[in-house]
Amino acid sequence: MYKILKILFFTLAIIFTSITYAQDKQMVAVLPTIGDVDDDINGAVQDALEQGVVQSKRYGLVARGPAFEQALSEITFQASGAVDDSQMKEFGHAVGADFVCYANIRAVANTFRITYRLIDVASSEIVKVNSKSSSNAVSDFIKMLDDITEDLFSNEAEKRASAEQILVAEREKELKAREIWENLKLSSEIIDLENFISQYSGTTPIAAATERLKDEKAWNTARQTNTISSYERYAAAGNSARYWEQAKDWLEEAYFRLAKDAADISDLDKIDQMYDNCLLLAPNGKLINEIKNIRCNAYYDQAMKLSKSKSADDLRQANKYFSVAQKTCPANKNIDAQMNKNDKAIKKSK
């Protein structure tokens, strides 16, 4: 396990070859890591902390050099790897650091534990003190180092600024989406709707745009298929569908034609089906009265034919048909007289 970590962090140290300093940055000196582990692991932890300083873009890193090594030689490390915090101010001044960072590492069984501190040289204040643990798996150890450098050197102000920038961008995106949607929501162009949904995902109008796109595709399918069932599927969406009135008018016309054709062959069941369809779809539609008249006349005509029969069964069936006609269009026919005549004929036949 230690050999793997040696290779990993030795490679990391080779990559870490040069550092550029900015005069307006606060400088951090990273002390060597001390611990009861292999020296290469201690060195790798120090390298990781130094990389954390540089990558933070908030701090500058005090380079290791003769002045650093001289000041370092005057620090007393305890057996535990701890450092006397009172020495940090003197060391920091000696190397030109604003902060001093150091860590120690312990290995217990299959676990690593790193304790770390960040000290303000001017005030001798401990700005950050914490510890983290990981298993001896390489991936866990690397993640622990990432967590430590994030904890020590992350710039919360930059994070907040970045978050604010994201919020501003999201607000601008939302306002732009609403503006575009106002011009787009009546569009029948599927490509425009798809592009809008793709470009402005996460904004308020997307739900409405998705429904509009779904509706437009369903309407195109109904028109291309051009069957009663396809228009019925579309109409089932209800009044919220943009083309519902057009679908309703198309279906009403279709039901009317089918009812009329059924009347020519006295297909009462088919007429009933079309009549019921119209009542469900468009009880106040423009053709409902015409379909009622078709049904009324069809039942009346059949009833009149049966009324000429001498069979009591035929006469009873005739009166049933008269009842249907009477309920469908009561003002159109003098049905009562014929039904009374049939009733008398039925009584005589007994």
Range of the domain at 290: 258-348
Does residue 334 share a domain with residue 273?
yes
Angle (deg, nearest 10), helices 288-307 and 268-281: 150
CATH number at residue 20: 3.40.50.10070
- pLDDT value at residue 56: 82
DSSP for residue 117: E
Whether this model's pTM surpasses 0.75: no
Does residue 147 share a domain with residue 196?
no
232 in a structural domain = no
- pLDDT value at residue 333: 64
Average pLDDT over residues 68-91: 74
Does residue 184 share a domain with residue 142?
no
Average pLDDT over residues 61-81: 79
- pLDDT value at residue 161: 66
d(CA 332, CA 325): 9
Does residue 19 share a domain with residue 144?
yes
d(CA 61, CA 54): 6
- Please report, to the nearest 10 degrees, the dihedral formed by the alpha carbons of residues 178, 180, 182, 188 taken in order: -130
Q: Is the pLDDT of residue 13 over 50?
A: no
Q: Is the pLDDT of residue 155 over 70?
A: no
- Of the chain, the end-to-end C-alpha distance in Å amounts to 110
59 in a structural domain = yes
Per-residue pLDDT reduced to its tens digit, 23-51: 578 899 999 888 888 888 888 899 999 99
How many domains in the chain? 3
CA angle 302, 306, 310 (to 5 degrees): 175
In contact, 31 and 101? CB cutoff 8 Å: yes
Per-residue pLDDT reduced to its tens digit, 288-346: 999 999 999 999 999 999 999 989 999 999 999 999 998 888 665 678 888 999 999 88
10 in a structural domain = yes
Does residue 100 share a domain with residue 37?
yes
